[in-house]
Amino acid sequence: MKTDMHYYGVYALARAAGMREKPAEIVATASEYVDDAIWDKEVFLEDGRSVIAELTAHRLLDFKNADNEDQRKVWLPFHFLPGGSGKTSTDKLLCQKNSRIAKTMVMQNTEIATEAPYGLYIMGITAHVYADTFAHYGFMGANHSYNAIRAGSIDLQVSDDGILDYIQKKAKHFLKEAVSYGLSQTFPLGHGAATTYPDRPYLRWSYIRETDGKTVERENPKDYVAACKAMHEMFGACLDKAPKLAESGTARRWKDIRNTVKKIIELEGDKQVRIRGWKDAMHDNHLFGGSTKVPRYKGSRWSSSIDDLEPEKIPRDMDKLPVYRFYQAARIHRAHVLSNLLPPNDVIAA
């Protein structure tokens, strides 16, 4: 999924569940920032304090993707949460849509979110990971032949020929870049062989899996609407436990916003067109009551607040920096998933 879902969609659904503006903005920013926390940075201050960045993503065209340790630390817990189903270890590693593991993660992280100072940040990370299970299922966050797609077997279904040409050109550009990067070994990682097709909400597509010759049919619109419903429910459960985060009179029931969400999901267009769909619906009060102000994504501010840290310029309340709270939440989430959540489900990845 891209910014249209991870930021604007998450913000809209949190508000639709009844969350106040500022908490919803923090949750949505943390959700999108999972894709943007790509810098391996450590800041050691003269008074003994330190800030250590928690990488939650790599750019797909990055040699670190070939590192098995990085795959376990980044792709499994943050983008391809294993479903734990099936008989073999490979089966259990596969990301599964709305799996039992995903639901347990949501329940446990929601409990943390109501108590910890980084609660809203872990809620945003949870929204990202949970939503990705509805887009990335059937692939795994590790280099494995199971992710391979038979050459020439991908079939795309859109109603707009211009959009079809656009996404095909984007895919060809990506593949060309990957080859020039010397990263052909990363194609079996995640949905690399499918380029960005799982991340396009409106797309219906199919492919033949190389390992077993099975034809796999994908209906992104159906999966994305299901993801939105699940997140709306997740935010509602969070507000039940933390009513101080709620704003009276703003919440909408899922059945009252479903058709609007479905229309946004089915918009055939580039990322900016899809973002405009979410923003227009919010401006027109079609998703929630109250203020229709849609805050701009501030991920770059989070990054610069760490980049600007110098030993001689130490803010006394450094622990209150949003990006510091994000790193706290990411560290807790990663450790919990790899050490506590996956092993009981016979997924040993750390």
- Report which residue type is found at 135: A
- Between these two residues, 95 and 291, which has the higher pLDDT value? 95
Residue 37: which of 297, 301, 303, 295 has the closest Cα? 303
Q: What is the pLDDT of residue 143?
A: 82
> Domain for residue 50, yes or no?
yes
In order, the DSSP letters of 155-170 are EEE-S-HHHHHHHHHH
Q: What is the pLDDT of residue 52?
A: 72
The domain of 314 spans 3-345
Question: What mean pLDDT do residues 92-115 have?
Answer: 94
Distances from the Cα of 236 to the Cα of 84, 126, 135, angstroms: 26, 14, 22
- Between these two residues, 135 and 169, which has the higher pLDDT value? 135
pLDDT in tens, 305-323: 666 655 555 566 777 788 8
pLDDT in tens, 223-235: 999 999 999 999 9
> Domain for residue 231, yes or no?
yes
Residue 90: which of 146, 148, 137 has the closest Cα? 146
Does residue 88 carry a pLDDT above 80? yes
pLDDT above 90: percentage of residues in the chain? 60
Does residue 185 carry a pLDDT above 60? no
Average pLDDT, the chain: 87
Question: What mean pLDDT do residues 264-287 have?
Answer: 96
> Domain for residue 350, yes or no?
no
Q: What is the pLDDT of residue 135?
A: 96
> Domain for residue 16, yes or no?
yes
Residue 120: which of 338, 317, 337, 328 has the closest Cα? 328
> Domain for residue 134, yes or no?
yes
> Domain for residue 270, yes or no?
yes
What is the domain count for the chain?
A: 1
Confidence of residue 180 (pLDDT cuts 50, 70, 90): very low
